[in-house]
Amino acid sequence: MTKEFELTVNGTAVRVETDPSSSLLHVLRNELDLKGARFGCGLGLCGACFVQMDGKVVASCDVPMWSAEGRTVVTVEGLEPGDGLHRVQQALIEGQAAQCGYCISGITVTAATLLETSPVPDERAVVAALDRNLCRCGVQRRVVRAVLQAGSAAAAT
Ligand code: FES
Ligand code: FES
């Protein structure tokens, strides 16, 4: 049986009719056409589907819609208002910190969330924050450098 849910996604109020047990990730990708969050493990273990919910990083594959009602969700597409790139995205591009890119949306959401609470994190903080984001291509060192760069770029402005 389906039910209507209201939530805010990337600053816009949306209504979705779906099964209460559908995952937030399924709704984002298939109902709202936001393809940035990816399906990896489906178990909350890889980080490919990470989004912000009420300001915290969550595994959207592991959030049933009944628990997303009334929440504020930000996906990788909504991290930066307008058409520009978030400074984490800019730093990831400049540092060529992606291979296949499957993990990068989740990594970007995690890193951007870290910078909201810790604008100039040290390496240890970046590594700790990204601990739940797996990357099978092995670009972790480049990613950490890029996030550090994004932090210092913000400090310099
Ligand atoms: S797909 Fe959600 S954590 Fe892996
Ligand atoms: S760049 Fe391929 S999984 Fe991370």
pLDDT band at 154, cuts 50/70/90?
Answer: confident
Tokens coding 119: 């604008």
Pocket residues: Cβ below 6 A from ligand 2? 98-103, 135-137, 139
In tens, the pLDDT along 66-89 reads: 999 999 999 999 999 888 999 999
- Residue closest via CA to ligand 1's atom 3 equals 44
Q: Determine the distance separating the centroid of ligand 1 and the alpha carbon of 148, expressed in angstroms.
A: 25
Q: Determine the distance separating the centroid of ligand 2 and the alpha carbon of 119, expressed in angstroms.
A: 25
Please list the helix, strand and coil fractions of the chain in percent, rounded to the nearest 5, in that order.
Answer: 40, 15, 40
For the entire predicted model, the pTM comes to 0.96
Which pLDDT belongs to residue 157?
Answer: 66
Pairing of strands 50-53, 72-74: antiparallel
Contact (Cβ atoms closer than 8 angstroms) between residue 106 and residue 134: no
Contact residues for 154 (Cβ-Cβ < 8 A; gap 6+):
87, 115, 119, 120
Q: Average pLDDT, whole number, for the chain?
A: 96
Whether the CB of 28 sits within 6 Å of ligand 1: no
Pairing of strands 72-74, 56-59: unpaired
- Cα separation values, 10 from 29, 40, 55, 76, 110, Å: 14, 22, 12, 9, 16
Which pLDDT belongs to residue 155?
Answer: 73
Half-sphere exposure of 98 (CA within 13 A, CB side): 16
Q: Determine the distance separating the centroid of ligand 1 and the alpha carbon of 129, expressed in angstroms.
A: 16
In tens, the pLDDT along 52-65 reads: 999 999 999 999 99
pLDDT band at 153, cuts 50/70/90?
Answer: confident
| Statement: residue 109 has pLDDT above 90 | yes
